[in-house]
Amino acid sequence: MKSLREYLWFNTSKKKEFINITPQVEEIVKKSRVKEGLCLVNAMHITASVFINDAESGLLQDFENWLENLAPHEPISRYRHNLTGEDNGDAHLKRTIMGREVVVAITNGKLDFGPWEQIFYGEFDGQRRKRVLVKIIGE
């Protein structure tokens, strides 16, 4: 069995951001030379997500608005977590609902997506260095 483990690094300019990371993941799949296998992509931080959806700007704005309605950043005092002196209680909740990781099948050397599927990094407490793990296993 072949395997490959790599990090993608992010330091977003905004506190909240969605980044399409499909091209970077495809590069790592190519580098692994795995033809049949699995590709795991997971955020290594508890205030960031990895998820799969449509690369459509209106939808990404809808996600942002929906998350802000579910867990508004302010007032900061509404979150018990922020009693620790942090201000990212909302980011932990947003991360949980958008998910930690995705697993995509690799078929014939390529990510085996459904129609319109793309992999996104979701940042909810950015402007600092964070990483995403990509682990590929297969033959």
Residue with tokens 């977003």: 12
- Do 9 and 131 form a contact (C-beta atoms < 8 A)? yes
- Do 21 and 41 form a contact (C-beta atoms < 8 A)? yes
Q: Measured from the CB of residue 81, what is the shortest distance to Zn ion in angstroms?
A: 6
Q: Measured from the CB of residue 115, what is the shortest distance to Zn ion in angstroms?
A: 36
Tell me how far apart the alpha carbons of residues 8 and 45 are, in angstroms, rounded to a whole number: 12
Q: Measured from the CB of residue 22, what is the shortest distance to Zn ion in angstroms?
A: 28
Structural tokens at position 91: 């980011």
Nearer to Zn ion, 31 or 78 (CB): 78
Nearer to Zn ion, 32 or 124 (CB): 124
- Do 35 and 108 form a contact (C-beta atoms < 8 A)? yes
Nearer to Zn ion, 59 or 83 (CB): 83
Contacting positions for Zn ion (CB under 5 A): 86, 88
